[in-house]
Structure 1
Amino acid sequence: MTRVVFVLLPEVHLLDLAGPAQVFSTAAAFGPSYTLDYVAEREQVRSAQGLPLAARTDWPALGRDDLVVVPGWRAPALRGGVRLSPATADRLRAHHAAGGTVASVCAGAEALGQAGLLDGRRCTTHHQLQDELAARHPRATVVRDVLFTTDDRVVTSAGIASGIDLALHLLAARHGPSLAARVAREMVIYARRNGNEAQASVMLRHRSHVDDTVHRVQDLIEARYAEPLPLARLAAHAGVSARTLTRQFTRATGGLTPLRYQQALRLERAEHLLGHGATVESAAREVGFEDARMLRRLRSRPPAQHPANDHGTAPDRHEKTQASYF
């Protein structure tokens, strides 16, 4: 069981809170065990929209796999606004020091800054507050024009609805992209990201469409990307012909065939493994390549030619010879 603790501060924005809470509660319906807790320095907190919220004043016991989220609050400016109590700041620091993840939405980044968690790290916040956040916390690097940033288990998001993107990112990192996509569709939203690792996310880059047939096939590829997946099997899974699937898939994903989509997922996972010390050979085997040659070939392509970005429709030689083994 994973706990997600939301720290409610005065004038908390409802969507900053409700968006991530909905993501994690929806994820729990698909298998992962999430328990949501709401803590505050008082038993009742008034939201920015006027709705009073009840919270507990004692914190539950937390482990390193648990998550603490600070939603934002009404903040025309950060100066003169919400101040953390020393006890709450200590809680945030202690959870991070113990190996846990701490996240914020919108003005919640200011709370992380008050706790000293932004020093030496990348962060972001609502575009109207970025200049002030940078001035108030000069040891932080405020990143602009992104939905969220991640840096050493400190995750910050831009504002309001971007908390949903942040939560989907955390789900994908912990449980894989397929679960994040299922949750996004259940919530009837686009699964999108736009920051740091998210900019390179294969799944979220090619999930912003409304073709349910293609979504079902993407679910299968994402769940079994390391296995051979013949086109006929994918088409049968979708209940359409192979020709129809290829046409719909290419149109929905901006030019990718199912094979190139699977290759892109494999490459992304392999890069993650390599970044954590794996050899090229072991990473290739882990993601489903028979040997390291294909992985080396894909990695050697310029970024514009990587499978995740290649919008050409003509298959290369390898794709022609391997087309029956998606």
Structure 2
Amino acid sequence: MTRVVFLLVPQLHLLDLAGPAQVFSTAAAHGLGYEIGYVAEQEDVPTAQGVALRAATEWPPLSPGDLVVVPGWRSPVLRAHGELSAATLERLAAHHAAGGTVASICAGADALGRAGLLDGRRCTTHHDLQDELAHRYPRASVVHDVLYVVDDRVVTSAGIASGIDLALHLVAVRHGPAAASRIAREMVVYARRNGDERQTSAMLRHRAHLVDAVHRVQDLIDTRFTRRLSLTDLASASGVSERTLTRHFTEATGLTPLRYQQELRVERAEHLIAHGATAEAAARAVGFQDARMLRRLRARAGTSTANG
């Protein structure tokens, strides 16, 4: 039996807690041997979403095979938020020193930092907090724009929904990828993501604009990016001319509609390759005739990243 203990901090985000808790409770329902507990420094714990939670104030006995998870809390900055007593931080450090695993979601990484668990280790957190985490813990190596990082039984993840990815990874490590996939399927998770995948998908990175016509075209491309899409059809869907669409789309996203579709294809192909598909199979699955164009676009993206 593996005990999973969530350390609840005032103003925690519900999804930071509920996502991984659902993974482990579903695993328990499948007979994988998980027992879930919740501890805090006070019985009643307010959340960022306004629902109060109740937790035990006494820690259960922990063994090296057990897991402690610190969900994140509402925090535009890490400093002066998520306060925990020295005794609680010592418990986190002691569990790890005894051979146990300690994990965090989002701002929860700050608690691990205060416990000394990030020193000399790779870690990550929400993209809005990564620079501050690196400044607060200069002995840590903060990895930017990844979903989660595992380093010597210290597991840190990005914001909010990435806690599900982290928990599925831990289940896969202990029980195999088939068990994790079965849980993800039951939870209606769209895709199991690896830790080194980017925190924001291409479908989200280019949405920070207010042009309705461009959003309509992006909606269409998002759902049909594996198909051949003509500029004429896209312009018709947006209600503007081809020339106007290209101009608005480029101004809003920095890409032409074709380059946006290609970025979606490449990102999805890389996901398939990371999960065992060949480059040829991945290329065909996302709409390329063969892997040559995929390799060319991946090489161009790598060059752009290096130059950026």
TM-score bin, normalised by smaller chain: 0.5 to 0.7
Give the residue type in structure 2 aligned to 1:187: M
Q: Distance in 2 between matches of 1:184 and 1:97?
A: 31
1:167 aligns with 2:167: yes
Q: Distance in 2 between matches of 1:174 and 1:73?
A: 28
1:200-249 Cα deviation digits (max 9, x unpaired):
xxxxxxxxxxxxxxxxxxxxxxxxxxxxxxxxxxxxxxxxxxxxxxxxxx
Q: Structure 1 stretches of 5 or more lacking a match?
A: 200-252, 255-259, 266-306, 314-326
Decide whether the 8 Å contact of 2:25 with 2:34 is kept in 1.
yes
Q: Which residue of 2 aligns with 1:131?
A: 131
Q: Distance in 1 between matches of 2:278 and 2:21?
A: 30
Q: Distance in 1 between matches of 2:140 and 2:84?
A: 18
Q: Distance in 2 between matches of 1:191 and 1:120?
A: 32
Give the residue type in structure 2 aligned to 1:108: G
1:36-84 Cα deviation digits (max 9, x unpaired):
0000000110001110000000000011111000000000101121222
After superposing on structure 2, the runs of 4+ consecutive aligned residues of structure 1 that deviate more than 3 Å are 307-310
Q: Distance in 2 between matches of 1:84 and 1:140?
A: 20
Q: Which residue of 2 aligns with 1:92?
A: 92
1:97-156 Cα deviation digits (max 9, x unpaired):
011100000000000000000000011001100010000000001111111000000000
Decide whether the 8 Å contact of 1:6 with 1:69 is kept in 2.
yes
Q: Distance in 2 between matches of 1:183 and 1:106?
A: 22
* SS, match of residue 166 in structure 1: helix
Q: Distance in 2 between matches of 1:158 and 1:116?
A: 19
Q: Structure 2 stretches of 5 or more lacking a match?
A: 199-267, 285-308
Q: Distance in 2 between matches of 1:58 and 1:190?
A: 37
TM (norm. structure 2) is 0.65
Q: How many residues align?
A: 213
Deviation (angstroms), 1:194: 3.6
When residues 184 and 7 of structure 1 are mapped into structure 2, their CA distance, relative to the original with a 3 A threshold, is same
Give the residue type in structure 2 aligned to 1:41: E
Decide whether the 8 Å contact of 2:184 with 2:192 is kept in 1.
no
Give the residue type in structure 1 aligned to 2:90: D
When residues 179 and 76 of structure 1 are mapped into structure 2, their CA distance, relative to the original with a 3 A threshold, is same
Q: In percent, how many aligned pairs have the same letter?
A: 68
TM (norm. structure 1) is 0.62
Q: Distance in 2 between matches of 1:190 and 1:19?
A: 14
Q: Which residue of 1 aligns with 2:57?
A: 57
Superposition CA RMSD, Å: 2.3
* SS, match of residue 185 in structure 1: helix
Q: Which residue of 1 aligns with 2:35?
A: 35
